[in-house]
Amino acid sequence: MHELKIAEELIIIVLKVAESENLKKITKVNIQFGKMIQIVPDIFRFVFESGVKGTIAKNARLKLEILPIKFACKKCKAETEIEDLLFVCSFCGSNDLELIQGRETIIESIEGEK
């Protein structure tokens, strides 16, 4: 259950940012995960909400977005999204691909009140 470790690290970052911005309350956190991170949204949400209890983020809404896996084909230069973990270019069939999206964890925004 890697959601626990990721949530713990993100909570630390969110609270540090809130402190540096002098926020008294965090109202919303927007997070993006690449599909290859394999986050289970319900588990992550539960762990995050449990972890922020007793903090200024205790009632924050959590918005999760899962980003698709994208590759750039080194042969035909096309960008393609991969759905079924079959890593081939959907345009030319090449498997000489470069990952351009799918392994990221991004805190898109933290909203709050001063």
Q: Where are the domains of the chain?
A: 3-68+102-113
How far does Cα 79 stand from its chain's mean position?
A: 21
What is the crossing angle of helices 41-51 and 3-20, to 10°? 50
Q: CA 107 to CA 112: how far, in whole Å?
A: 14
- Residue 97's contacts (CB-CB under 8 Å, 6 or more residues apart) are 71, 72, 73, 74, 80, 87, 88, 89
pTM for the model? 0.84
- pLDDT by residue for the chain (114 residues), tens only, comes to 688 999 999 999 999 999 999 999 999 999 999 999 999 999 999 999 999 999 999 999 999 999 999 999 999 999 988 877 778 888 898 989 999 999 999 999 999 999
Q: What's the CATH architecture for 3-68+102-113? A: 2-Layer Sandwich (3.30)
In the numeric block, the tokens 């995050």 are attached to 48
